[in-house]
Chain A
Amino acid sequence: MIEAIKAFINKFTNPQILFPLLAVVYVFVFPINKFFLRINERLGIYKLWTNAGGALMIGTLFSFFCFGMTDANFRKIVTKPDNVPIVGLLFLVVFFLWFAMKQAYENDARIAAGKRPNEAEDAKEKILVWPDLVYIELIALILCSVLLLVWAMSLHAPIEEPANPSVSPNPSKAPWYFLGLQEMLVYFDPWLAGVVFPTVILLGLMSIPFIDNNTKGSGYYTFKDRQMAVSMFMFLWLVLWIFLISVGTFLRGPNWNFFGPFEYWDSHKLAALTNINLSEYVYMIWMKRELPTNILLREMWGFLVLGIYFGLMPLLFAKTFLKNVFKNLGPLRYSVFVILLLLTLSLPIKMLLRWAFNVKYIIAIPEFFFNI
């Protein structure tokens, strides 16, 4: 029975299943528009942000780890001194997510009832820097020192074998905060995943204040006043960042192969690599003919797809479900916004294409090291 559960979880946690599932669940947990909001309310998902919901989430996570610790392989991965902070991170993320959303929903209820948000009440109150602020800061500082000292004593520094330039450790993992980027390397070429995307992430974060002209929600937690902004950010943060870090930490083993949480990290495990490029799909599978020798001719379908994706989609969106956004932002800001959005979405799209259709590259010009 327990073995069956473990086997199920091993299969289930495969990103090919877990990622789409998360994406679907996410849409209902953080509804991006009125339609999903109605479903959310009908299903009662918003109850996650009550005390009971919080207890349920933390409780589930906790029981999962308790269950997992009975398994030697799970224990080995989770208690590795490098990975312990990431376990902590999971709990903290869930807790603070719940904490913020709970306050947001309370405020939303108050606003709906014609009252001002909780924070507005707080703002009337004055607090003295000394002793109220500085004193508790000092106490917090002491507690953090205690935590770090105890941690340092109980878990030894994760020192590995002597470095050897001719032998790279297997798996070679980036520092935890880069694991999301490393995960992207599975789907994109290094110049994209390692250079372009991180740059775009930084530029995108910088551009938020200029794109977001919604004046509501300043200084207080709210969900409904900033529904789209919150749900979009949560997707980037939870699904494309935290989730990928967790996958990279716990589920990627030797040779960057995927391993379920209860699986032994066997360095001899083989995973079939059967991916092909879009051009091969078009010419060899659909048209049943040889690949053209002319690079442009060969890759024109990829360029076409990208042209449509970045050229036509913004126009289409502006006419359909982003009509209001287009109206609010105006053409220039809308263009920046929508391009950022499309770039963001390209990661999950590429993942899905890979998993569902074994697509390696949309455009593949290895002659110039240019693969997308």
Chain B
Amino acid sequence: MGKDERHYNINKLNVVFAVVSVVLLLTLMSVFMNDYDRDWKDYQRQFRTIEIEKARVKLDKENIELSQQAEYEELEGKIAAAKQAYKDKCLAQTELQEQIEEANAKLTLVEQDYKFRKAEFDAAKYRFEHGEAYHEHDVDQYREAFQSLDQQVTKLALDVEEAKTALKSKQRMMDNCGAQLAQLERDERQMTARQSILVRQLDSIDPNAMNLTNQVANMVRDLPILELANPRNKVEQIVLKDVTEDVNFMNVPRVDRCTTCHLGITNPDYVNEAQPFTTHPNLELYVGKNSPHPLEEFGCTVCHAGRPRGTSFNGAVHVPSSPQQKKEWEEKYGYHQMELWEEPMLPLPYTEAGCYKCHSGEFPVKGAEKLSTGLAMIETAGCYACHEIERYKDWPKPGPNLTKLAGKIDKEWGWRWLNDPHSFRHNTMMPSYFNQSNNSDVVSKKRSDQEIHAILHYLFENAQPYPSDRLPIKGDPARGEELVASVGCYACHQIQPEKGDEMVTVDGLRRRFGPNLIDIGTKTSARWLYNWLKDPNSYHPDTAMPNLRLTDQEAADIASFLIQDKNNAFSQHPVPAVNVNVLNDIVLGFLKRADTDQGARNTLAGMKLEQKLEFAGEKLIAQYGCFSCHNIKGFDNAKPIGVALSEESSKSLHKFDFGFLHIEHSKHAWYAQKLKDPRSFDKGKIKAPDEKLRMPNFNLKNDEIEAIVTALLGFVDESQVQAKIKPRTPENLAKEQGEELVAQFNCRGCHMVEGQGGSIHDSVEKWLVDFEEKTDNEAAKVRDSFSPPNLHGVGRKLNPEWLFNFLHEPKQKVRPWLRVRMPTFNFNVVHLNTLVKYFQAVDGDNFPLKINVETGLTDKEYEAAAKLFSEDYFGCTQCHVVGSKLPTGSQDSWAPNLALAKTRLQPEWLIEWIKNPSKLMPGTKMPTFFDPENYDTSGPDDLLDGNENEQIRVLRNFLLTLSEEQQRDVAAPVPETP
């Protein structure tokens, strides 16, 4: 075949082929380089350099430390000497050395021989057994082989033993010679344990420290392409078997790969390193081995969210916490949002949202300050009233009852209030419905004016009369002021005329539990106030306001004090007259919903002004959902009007309507915008008045918004993390239910419960300064004595039955010197039982199982106990109130009434309490009579043979005999009742 028959020039084709082959080769190389050059591998390389550096520094430090120890130096010297001695004395015995070597060689040989023969023996044994079982004809031959091998093996075994003994005896001679050196070396190892760990670590990672073979091997295993076999740079992952992801019709374990780059996350040595190597900021609580959330069990994304399997910056769906950070990331990491991942990482300011999915039963969520603040905001603002939230399923309505409204306010005040509640009370939780971004134009404004008239008309027309008593006596405002400061009003209320700029906290919100008591004189009358204070439930049966059991005079005093404060600017705000035309439009709009245009017009024509107002009012209350927060006649069974929020943040982003607003498209940005200006998503939209967004404006500050957004981001579907949620044991349930009640009734406003609360302490201190003539320092020192008690440990301390009765009707004066009062709450039986169980559960007290304790005393014992009780010994009555007998010591150190011990305290607890009070209640004023350090010699020696346990027991039993009556006989002066 000639060349001329070819269509193409073969030489040219060869060139083309060569070129494209090279191109393919280059492409393939770039494929491998592409894989070799992944970001996470780079991070692992960087991390290794840091790791080596750290290990070296540590080793140096360790070495220096060792060299500075005289002991170590001495040891080294001894070892050197011992080595020399060993060399001179032991190694010099060449004959012995040779013998050992010889014995060793012999043993090896014999052992091998034995092993081989044994293997043959086993095989022969099987062959013989098999032959015998199946009656094979050459079974005799097998028997012979077996027997001969049997003998050989037995003999060889003896030989091995002999060789071993020979070697051992020689070896022992040698060992004895070097015994001292071996001991010294053991000591050294103990001393340098830490150092040798570091040396070993460096051996495995530091190329300079390792031997050549390892160096080469490490280099080769990390080469591109070859690294597929067993590289040092590996994707690290945590597989969580009990936290699953729903991939449709099946659940797969969650796999977190975050630690591929975040390599120092559990190691406290990396605190000062930059991301991604830095240590977790709170190892005690998270990620650390001994923390409640160890890395191996919880991974990272369970809390932080993000894409668990992502191994690149964008692939893990990091989310910047601010526009600046976004910009920074764009430059540094080529950041872009991965829109399609539905659980982007929680941005840093909202990280605590991740706690909620497992801790949704806690009030507050311990350790998550911002989340708890957000939840407390939701409780205070009453978001749950319009928006169903699982956690607040059966909570009472957050706003006051309006069914007896006419007895409290007048219509004009009501109009001004509805028009702009924040102009009356800057921090009220009553939100603004009017004058908002979607109803502030002139037309809407006119309409709003009339809407308010209609709503008020309905409320006043349907209000029941509130039979209120006249003030029996004229109140004294000065005394009223003191009472407000002392009886405990400031646990829940504040009097704060101006906006403060303090950051919102859970504790601050406890003090905002009830309304800010400013300008009450403008709002209501002294008469209403008096009746309200005397019996809040008569006005509002479900109110959280407790009854403080005020006397008529006290109530009148407080009323006359509060009523003084007036807001004239507010009462001068003009109230527009009822405008029939605008009202007609409103009424017509509602009528047309259920009727034809003509029909509606006819109906309207037949309505009187009153009827129109009432009709429109009812419809408007339904539209704005006033009934969600307030009891209003005619709306008893109405359903809340807001979107359910229980799993709001599991909703995909595209279900959030951003309207025409140009804000970041993320859930947190949407929530923040909604809370800042709830109606702003109406911007640019054309809507009829009743189609407009209705969520009212709470005038929230930025920190409040951030806290609420944190909580909202936490409202997600919990089903994937079921395994991680605290088990629903009766104890845990009792705790959760109790905590809920504690939050609902703001117990922590006065008391410390589980280490949190006692918000009233500051105001008690202020009262001591303002009204009890104490200096600032004194007041700060004794304020705890005049504040409501810390409820630490009451589950074990108090008799459940007594606690139940006391919570129901706190009549008994345990601490008669306190001016602040335990109020009477409107608890029902369920509440009472829940609270008692809660306190028991918190202290791990297994209520209702109780052991009866023998509390009898012999005469001799009684005598000894009375002595202990007396001034001569412990002097209990110096501090403790006993019935009506007041202590002899200073009022600052008074302690609870011992006459109540019998019914109030648990006998087992009393024993422990007398033994070591500080252990049960750290910081208590109760002195420790029995020094726990020298317990056996601590008690008085002259009583009961100096037996401390006996002394405590009889004293306890003695205390349980005390009662009001018995003391009354003895008691001398009747104290002035404070």
Residues on A facing B (Cβ under 8 Å): 125-128, 131-132, 135-136, 138-139, 142-143, 145-146, 149-150, 153, 160-165, 167, 170, 267-268
Contact = CB atoms under 8 A, between A and B. Distances in A.
Contact of B13 (A126, A136, A146, A267): A136
B424 to A, nearest CB: 39
A132 B248 contact: no
A137 to B, nearest CB: 11
Interface stretch (B28-36, B593-601, B873-881, B926-934): B28-36
A131 B342 CA distance: 56
Nearest to A148: B27
Contacts of B10: 131, 135
Given A128-B7, A162-B245, 14 more contacts: A126-B5, A127-B7, A131-B6, A136-B13, A138-B17, A139-B16, A145-B24, A145-B27, A146-B20, A153-B30, A153-B31, A161-B342, A163-B248, A268-B657
B750 to A, nearest CB: 48
Given A139-B13, A153-B30, A128 B20 contact: no
B21 to A, nearest CB: 6
Contact of B652 (A131, A143, A160, A167): A167
B24 A146 contact: yes
A-B complex: 9 closest residue pairs judged by Cβ atoms:
A161-B340, A132-B7, A142-B20, A127-B7, A146-B27, A149-B27, A142-B24, A160-B340, A146-B24
A268 B657 CA distance: 9
Interface string B245-289: 101100000000000000000000000000000000000000000
Contacts of B654: 170, 267
24 contacts: A127-B7, A128-B6, A131-B6, A131-B10, A132-B7, A132-B8, A135-B13, A135-B17, A136-B13, A138-B17, A139-B16, A139-B20, A143-B20, A145-B24, A146-B24, A149-B28, A153-B34, A160-B340, A161-B340, A161-B341, A162-B247, A162-B342, A163-B247, A164-B248
A51 to B, nearest CB: 24
B6 A139 contact: no
Contacts of A126: 5
Contacts of A167: 652
Nearest to B657: A268
Contacts of B28: 149
Interface of B: 1, 5-8, 10, 13, 16-17, 20-21, 23-24, 27-28, 30-31, 34, 245, 247-248, 340-342, 652, 654, 657
Contacts of A268: 657
Contact of A132 (B6, B30, B245): B6
B181 to A, nearest CB: 63
A163 B7 CA distance: 54
A126 to B, nearest CB: 7
Contacts of A170: 654
A334 B553 CA distance: 111
Contacts of A127: 7
Nearest to A145: B24
B8 A136 contact: yes
Contacts, number: 60
B342 A149 contact: no
Contacts of B652: 167
Contacts of A146: 20, 23-24, 27
Contacts of A143: 20, 23
A269 to B, nearest CB: 12
Contacts of A162: 245, 247, 342
Nearest to A159: B340
B68 to A, nearest CB: 57
Nearest to B14: A135
A145 B20 CA distance: 10
Nearest to B1: A128
A216 to B, nearest CB: 28
Contacts of A125: 7
A164 B654 CA distance: 14
A128 B13 contact: no
A131 B248 CA distance: 54
A138 B21 CA distance: 10
Nearest to A146: B27
A37 B8 CA distance: 40
B225 to A, nearest CB: 15
B307 to A, nearest CB: 10
Contacts of B247: 162-163
A105 B540 CA distance: 95
Nearest to B33: A153
Nearest to B341: A161
Contacts of B5: 126, 128
Contacts of B31: 149, 153
A149 B29 CA distance: 11
Contacts of A267: 654
B772 to A, nearest CB: 65
A136 B12 CA distance: 11
A135 B342 CA distance: 51
Nearest to B8: A132
B245 to A, nearest CB: 8
Nearest to A158: B340
A146 B8 CA distance: 23
A69 B21 CA distance: 34
Contacts of B17: 135, 138-139, 142
A249 to B, nearest CB: 19
Contacts of B24: 142, 145-146
Contacts of B657: 268
Nearest to A127: B7
A139 B17 CA distance: 6
Contacts of B34: 153
Nearest to B247: A162
A165 B6 contact: no
A266 B7 CA distance: 57
B20 A135 contact: no
Nearest to B658: A268
B13 A131 contact: yes
Contacts of A161: 340-342
A146 B23 CA distance: 7
A52 B247 CA distance: 55
Nearest to A163: B248
Nearest to A154: B34
B319 to A, nearest CB: 16
A132 to B, nearest CB: 5
A165 B249 CA distance: 10
Contacts of B16: 139
A165 B248 contact: yes
Nearest to B30: A153
A15 to B, nearest CB: 26
A323 to B, nearest CB: 47
Contacts of A165: 248
Contacts of B21: 142
Among A142, A150, A267, the one with the most B-chain Cβ atoms within 10 Å of its Cβ is A142
B911 to A, nearest CB: 60
B28 to A, nearest CB: 7
A370 to B, nearest CB: 34
A150 B27 contact: yes
Among A125, A162, A163, the one with the most B-chain Cβ atoms within 10 Å of its Cβ is A162
A128 B24 CA distance: 26
Nearest to B34: A153
A228 B342 CA distance: 54
B540 to A, nearest CB: 43
B660 to A, nearest CB: 9
Among A126, A127, A146, A267, the one with the most B-chain Cβ atoms within 10 Å of its Cβ is A146
A128 B341 CA distance: 56
A267 B653 CA distance: 12
Contacts of A163: 247-248
B29 to A, nearest CB: 11
Nearest to A153: B34
Contacts of B341: 161
Contacts of B1: 128
A310 B24 CA distance: 57
A217 B167 CA distance: 102
